[in-house]
Structure 1
Amino acid sequence: MGTATPNQGLDHVALRAYDLDATVRFYTEALGFRFVCEWSAPQAGVHRCVFLDTGDDRLLELFDAASTPPGGSDRPFDTPPLPTDEDRARAAALVHFALRTDDPDTLYRRALDAGARSLMAPTEIETTGTMPMTLYVGFVYGPNGEVIEFIRRPHPKQG
């Protein structure tokens, strides 16, 4: 008899925001995320934090610039010199996060209309390997330099 794994899947991805309110507007108004709650925990270095539902009860956690979240730098996020989007993307351990969609073009355009900068316009990519597939992906820099991917990909059939 097998033992069930305690892993229940990805819960959230956390970002620090230069402007928390503007970042919340970007993700809710342009990309359709749903506001869940705002909280603080001063004893843990969190001044303001917001949870946004990405659409499947998986969350995007947004910390304000003054917060020092677990795993984050204690350097204030909003003091000069600010790194460029490219500098942040190259130095980050998290390369990007991807939003699954049937329509990468629409989310890409909506993100650009809301102030995101293009990294790569949506394009088709053919992969090789153990499961060759055709992907359709586009990338933008979000309001804090985070790289956001919009992806349409095939889903393997469940057995």
Structure 2
Amino acid sequence: MNLIENNKVYGIHHIAIRAKDFEKTVRFYIEVLDFNIRHIWSLPEFNLKQAAMLKSRDGSSFIEIFDNDADIAAEGRRPLAGEEPVQGSLLHFSVLVDNAELAYSRALSAGASPCVPPMTLFLGDPPLAVRNALVYSPNGEVIEFMESNNL
């Protein structure tokens, strides 16, 4: 029995984020990245007071946000007080946008910090032109804005 043939993987469903400030983080993803709230819950058995599942505009992907005190499975360790985020194996996540420069500017005006300004990269041979930009969200995660015409 081939498990891959009998249990198809269709894509990535969601990413999960631990929010230093739950309300501010949810607001950022709604106001800046055009996600909307799909569901809100709590799970006392995991010390989870607030959680939200946010749905993308096209409905095919989600971002799950947990409050800072939740005891949820995660890679690495939590940063110590005043310490920058501890780097784990997840480097960034990418969202498709029409205009990387506009998304970058919008994120910065909403409290994100610059990471990589809008640029065009040429990848591989033959070269594939990729237009993108990256920010650190107000919560600290790295978000890449990838122009949809690159695919």
**TM-score category (smaller protein):** 0.7 to 0.9
Show CA shifts across 1:33-76 (max 9, x none).
1111211111133221111112233110011111121236785x
Runs of 5+ consecutive residues of structure 1 not aligned to the other structure: none
Count, aligned residues: 146
Identity, in percent, stands at 32
Q: Does 1:139 align with 2:139?
A: no
- Aligned pair partner of 2:54 in 52, 55, 61: 52
1:8 deviates by 2.1
Show CA shifts across 1:90-128 (max 9, x none).
x12210000111211111111001000000111000111
Report the Cα distance in structure 1 between the residues aligned to 2:41 and 2:124, rounded to whole angstroms: 44
- The alignment's TM-score, normalised by the length of structure 2, stands at 0.86
1:68–1:74 contact (8 Å) kept in structure 2: no
The worse-fitting range, judged by mean Cα deviation, of 36-45 and 26-35 is: 36-45
Report the Cα distance in structure 2 between the residues aligned to 1:7 and 1:45, rounded to whole angstroms: 31
Give 3-state SS (helix, strand or coil) of 2:52's partner.
Answer: strand
Runs of 5+ consecutive residues of structure 2 not aligned to the other structure: none
Query: Equivalent residue for 1:96?
Result: 92
Report the Cα distance in structure 2 between the residues aligned to 1:55 and 1:92, rounded to whole angstroms: 28
- Aligned pair partner of 1:121 in 102, 117, 121: 117
* CA RMSD after TM alignment: 2.1
Q: AA paired with 2:115?
A: L
1:37–1:51 contact (8 Å) kept in structure 2: yes
- The alignment's TM-score, normalised by the length of structure 1, stands at 0.82
CA separation of 1:154 and 1:4: change in aligned 2, threshold 3 A: farther
Give 3-state SS (helix, strand or coil) of 2:143's partner.
Answer: strand
